[in-house]
Structure 1
Amino acid sequence: MTRHYRWLVACCVSAGLLAGCETAPVKAWQRGDLARTEMAWQPDPMESAFRDHVYTSKEGASGGVGTGGGGCGCY
């Protein structure tokens, strides 16, 4: 009896946790202050591209961001 009870409790808990994982898209007017352009991670794409270019140029390793290298440009 306790084995079936544990299984039932585990199923109910799993169903409850999975029910809270709904992915409803958020509309722009629902975001409030976060919808403003100055709140974006990269509000200016040209500036972020320039910063990435400068960082990878100064890094010296191949890839610059996310890949390792010895600083000599080799993989």
Structure 2
Amino acid sequence: MKMSLSLLAIVINLTACAEVQPWERGNLAKPQMALDPYPVQSELRGHSYGAREAAGAGNTGSGGGCGCY
């Protein structure tokens, strides 16, 4: 039973694979297709959040955390 479920999962995953043609790759390279379409804005939000919360996440350093905007 466990083996057949594993085999079924592998077969389903393999059917989802598709070869991307060279002329289709331009669509995948658009900024809207990125995992984070606005990386600069996300970085600034993370920096201001870390400064407000005084929760350094490595790159935010230490800040005073009044919690206000």
Q: Shorter-chain TM-score: what band?
A: 0.3 to 0.5
TM-score (norm 2): 0.43
* TM-score, reference length from structure 1: 0.41
Q: Which structure is higher in RCO with an 8 Å CA cutoff and minimum separation 6? A: 2
